Amino acid sequence: MQSAAMGTQTPNNSNYYCSKSADERSAEERAIDAWLPVTSNRNAKWWYSAFHNVTAMVGAGVLGLPYALAQLGWGPGVAVLVISWIITFYTLWQMVEMHEMVPGKRFDRYHELGQHAFGKKLGLWIIVPQQIIVEVGVDIVYMVTGGQSLMKFYDLVCKKDCKDTKLTYFIMIFASVHFVISHLPDFNSIVGVSLAAAVMSLSYSTIAWGASVKKGVVADVEYGYKAKTTAGTIFNFFSALGDVAFAYAGHNVVLEIQATIPSTPEKPSKGPMWKGVIVAYIIVALCYFPVALIGYWMFGNQVKDNILLTLEKPTWLIAMANMFVVIHVIGSYQIYAMPVFDMIETVLVRKLKFKPSWMLRFVTRNIYVAFTMFVGITFPFFNGLLGFFGGFAFAPTTYFLPCIMWLAICKPKKFSLSWIINWICIILGVLLMIIAPIGGLRSIIIQAKDYKFYS
């Protein structure tokens, strides 16, 4: 399945890795490319890829995995976790390979690859709405997660002397950080934030399963389905599939991350990128599987939709873990926001002919942060949001769109191993996309019954 075997060998010329040669691009186009977040800096190292991919992948989703397992049950839950890890690892490999599959071009953005596979107009319509839903959806969920974790930290360290404070205010405090750091210009400028976030993800995941082990199996633990009706059990099962899909979401930014790595005919970017992805996926496994399996083992179907909310003691450790989550989702928010900033700024500068400037960036990015904050404050349904967004948008961009593009671009022989594997991924991904949002939407409706806005 290597690209070389498919007639996509690298030609030995110096212009191979430019989207257009220097002669073809005008000075204005080069200036715009040098300003846009994704293409402005191509000096990333392989470990930047590792940091960014861990930060993109391990986020709010890992904290919801024990709850997802409780809705799925032991057998189906473990199977879904393992199969998802394998499928998404495979589709991530495809994305890395396809970044430079066409001689003379780098697909720096997900929609550029989609346009090559499906055609200029159709590719935009297929990819861009999905990618925007994913990236904006993740940022909204991270607003809620950041606010919830700050609130939990506050409640743990300040039990007696502090007034009850609304979740709304904690989400606003979390958002205030992004009104500042969202003005960092590109991916490479947030590498320090991303490194801190990657370290935090491993730290709080370890605390989550370590504290669960320390607490031990709770009295009268039950592993049966919590819902009292068959319909409730089925809908919860569907929603849990969306939770798992949400946890494997790094594909939406992988091409944009790879775009920051330098590339030459002798040393294409896929080498260092793939090295970073392997490291990232090992860390993903070290975070996901212990948290999911141990969390469910210790608490059974009583586990909450965020494992850290289930744990209370030792107080200092759980408070610290919640603060680690806050630091991590600060980095994750930025990783998903950067391609959105790139899309907005590309449209404003290329289509609407705005002049690239600090003020343009200042206004647009502040509006984006304010929008995600407002939606997060209005609909803070953590579990329902995971299930809904996970199935509706993450399943296509993570589980099966890379496979469809691979079939369209590489055209493997019918019934060859590559063809069969891709079709299996497509069928499973489409099923996930159809059934997971149903469960997620039901969870949101149930939670919304007793919810008071801005409470």
The answer to whether residues 438 and 237 touch, using CB atoms and an 8 Å cutoff, is: no
> In the predicted model, is pLDDT for residue 19 greater than 70?
no
Burial label for 318, CB within 10 Å (0-12, 13-18, 19+), is buried
Report the pLDDT averaged over residues 26-43: 80
Among 449, 367, 379, which residue's Cα sits nearest to residue 140? 379
Task: Quote the pTM value.
Answer: 0.84
The answer to whether residues 377 and 171 touch, using CB atoms and an 8 Å cutoff, is: yes
d(CA 102, CA 54): 28
Cβ contacts of 93 within 8 Å, gap of 6 or more: 274, 277
Instruction: Indicate the length of the chain as a whole number.
Output: 455
Compute the half-sphere exposure of residue 267: CA atoms within 13 Å on the CB side of its CA.
7
Of the candidate ranges 138-152, 195-209, 227-241, 375-389, the one whose mean pLDDT is the lowest: 375-389
Report the pLDDT averaged over residues 51-73: 84
Which uninterrupted H or E stretch holds 231?
Answer: helix 230-247
The mean pLDDT of the chain is 83
pLDDT, tens digit, 9 for 90 and up, residues 259-272: 889 888 788 888 89
d(CA 35, CA 357): 9
pLDDT of residue 389: 66
Domain coordinates in residue numbering, the chain: 38-450
Cα angle 253-257-262, degrees, rounded to a multiple of 5: 155
Give domain 38-450's CATH architecture: Up-down Bundle (1.20)
Report the pLDDT averaged over residues 153-180: 87
d(CA 324, CA 61): 15
DSSP string, 134-179: HHHHHHHHHHHHHHHHHHHHHHHH-SSS-----HHHHHHHHHHHHH
> In the predicted model, is pLDDT for residue 7 greater than 60?
no
Of the candidate ranges 99-108, 215-224, 338-347, 443-452, the one whose mean pLDDT is the lowest: 443-452
pLDDT of residue 367: 97
Report the pLDDT averaged over residues 92-104: 88
pLDDT band with cut points at 50, 70 and 90 for residue 420: very high
pLDDT of residue 98: 92
Higher pLDDT, 239 or 339: 339
pLDDT, tens digit, 9 for 90 and up, residues 270-316: 889 999 999 999 998 998 999 999 989 988 888 887 787 777 777 88
Positive or negative, the CA dihedral 145, 147, 148, 149 is positive
> In the predicted model, is pLDDT for residue 214 greater than 80?
yes
